[in-house]
Amino acid sequence: MKISLSNTMLRFTGPGGSLLVPNRDEVCRRLAMLIEGECESLGPSKAAQKYDFSRQRYHQILAAFYEEGAEGLLLQKPGPKTDYRRTDQVVRLVIRCRFLDPDSSPEVIAQKIRQQNHAISQRSVERIIADYGLQKKTLRPESRQPAPVRPGPAHP
């Protein structure tokens, strides 16, 4: 089998014909890279370079493929997958602190929770307060109408 790559198409060619795949299909591009790196004579470094990946990324993709099969080739969103700072326990602590002392600031609440050995930032406390609608109510300024005149004793 021969695999060729152009700016727009990825082509798999074998004795019976060829299969065209759009170059923007990341899963097929990654699979083609692994086939060329592992099964053809190209090798991991040159295959990674051909498909615009680093050698380290090549090995990460290969490990994901061995672990999960074709699903390991899917694009993953970067960053944390869970709220590892705002755990259920920390959320409960923030809510508890807010109800016990409604006038305490997010900074003070964060400090109290950190003293209990939970890693939390002031901004995370602010987000929890906003998510649960625990922010202080602000009073609207009264309308600027004249004060009512109270009838007093009549002057002669």
pTM of the model: 0.52
For range 2-14, the mean pLDDT: 87
In the block, tokens 């692994």 appear at 34
Record the tokens describing residue 146, joined without a space: 């004249």
Q: Dump pLDDT digits (tens) for 35-64.
A: 999 998 889 999 999 999 999 999 999 999
For range 136-148, the mean pLDDT: 61
